Structure 1
């Protein structure tokens, strides 16, 4: 694993390493190479140290006897951010930190898997940051992000795509998906757009009138 990253400005997304299931080392290495800033949540720090990763920011509430000072020498220079607020998750606090620094985008790994409550919270809470921070959650099986009201992207035929509403999403239209949506409504817990796919090589267009709609590019 690369021990440092080569980009040193804010033109590329930052990287947050949470404490869910690990991803493929190749995926993590690719993200590290292009990340100008690497933030690790305190609960994941020991696992990250085992991979010889250079960390820029260590963030968390440092509970359960966690001592961030022991990493100051091996990770120098290291910014330590103490965030005791118990009304937010450490991942949300990391998002707030990036917004304060006016960093516009972030990739997040190790945010899924392990505990289901953590996975569900991490994925759905990104809707709170619409218009504040562009967030992409990645693991070995999916790439998850919040859709704008109009979205266009080129895909190869057969690419699995799931549309997951957070709450109720109205007025959904699609172009170039196997299962077409035409002024449809999706509702969490009742009807979602899971396990759709791209009909043919080309541009996929998705629009919706209101609501928070997540797109998951999936890998079977």
Structure 2
């Protein structure tokens, strides 16, 4: 059975190109990102937020007011999606602009790792929190970066130009940026910790 996927737009750097929306069950956005969709005549299924920045609320879509300032807009809309039964979410606009929001979004991703499958897309790459065993397909000659948050232990890789063999990465000591896939598929395994994988959209020239 095909998973029901969600397109979620946050209020970071807006995508230069949009995906094929027929791939998604629903479209949603935080209130700060809604204007981007409106300008492109894209009607989301719902928007959420405190709506301080919107003078006129839309009448033709579901508006979910989430004023609780103890949680970020990202965390609150993930809770809404989880409550609606959605677990596979593609997220756009999570990086760029204020970088503290980007780091906060990574933090939130770890908090939801047991319940949601989150994949991020920006204008340069896609990235996600890795499982203990992760395979990347169709990646030959693409830049692959391994970023611990804050550490990941006993990492091994296959199909990367600079392999790791049961090695540790620790933020502030050693991270694994700007590696390159030399095979069509690459595999990353690790024993414990948290590890984000970033994959550039564009292939590196040989």
Equivalent residue for 2:66? 83
5 Å matches for 1:170-185? 170-185=153-168
Q: Does 1:71 align with 2:58?
A: yes
Equivalent residue for 1:197? 180
Q: Does 1:57 align with 2:46?
A: yes
Counterpart-to-counterpart distance in 1, 2:37 and 2:136: 33
Given that 1:174 and 1:181 are in contact with CA atoms closer than 8 Å, whether structure 2 keeps it comes out as yes
Given that 2:90 and 2:121 are in contact with CA atoms closer than 8 Å, whether structure 1 keeps it comes out as yes
Equivalent residue for 1:47? 36
Counterpart-to-counterpart distance in 1, 2:87 and 2:198: 21
Question: What secondary structure does 1:179 align onto?
Answer: coil
Q: Does 1:125 align with 2:108?
A: yes
User: How far did residue 52 of structure 1 move?
Assistant: 0.5
After superposition, what is the alpha-carbon deviation per residue over 1:6-29, rounded to whole angstroms, capped at 9, x for unaligned? xxxx8331011111111123xx14
**Is there any run of 5+ residues in structure 2 with no aligned partner, and where?**
none
Among 20, 28, 37, the residue aligned to 2:12: 20
TM-score, normalisation: structure 1: 0.85
Among 139, 158, 168, the residue aligned to 2:151: 168
Q: State the superposition RMSD in angstroms.
A: 1.8
Counterpart-to-counterpart distance in 2, 1:219 and 1:108: 15
User: How far did residue 155 of structure 1 move?
Assistant: 3.0
Given that 2:142 and 2:181 are in contact with CA atoms closer than 8 Å, whether structure 1 keeps it comes out as yes
**1:156–1:90 distance in 2 versus 1, CA, 3 Å:** closer
Equivalent residue for 1:11? 3
TM-score, normalisation: structure 2: 0.91
User: How far did residue 33 of structure 1 move?
Assistant: 2.6
Question: What secondary structure does 1:182 align onto?
Answer: coil
Equivalent residue for 1:216? 198
Equivalent residue for 1:109? 92
**Is there any run of 5+ residues in structure 1 with no aligned partner, and where?**
1-9
User: How far did residue 67 of structure 1 move?
Assistant: 4.5
Structure 1 residue runs of 4 or more that deviate by more than 2 Å after TM superposition: 153-157
Equivalent residue for 1:143? 126
Equivalent residue for 1:97? 80
After superposition, what is the alpha-carbon deviation per residue over 1:46-96, rounded to whole angstroms, capped at 9, x for unaligned? 2221111011111002235x356x311xxx2x2211111212110111111
Given that 1:17 and 1:40 are in contact with CA atoms closer than 8 Å, whether structure 2 keeps it comes out as yes
Counterpart-to-counterpart distance in 2, 1:179 and 1:48: 41
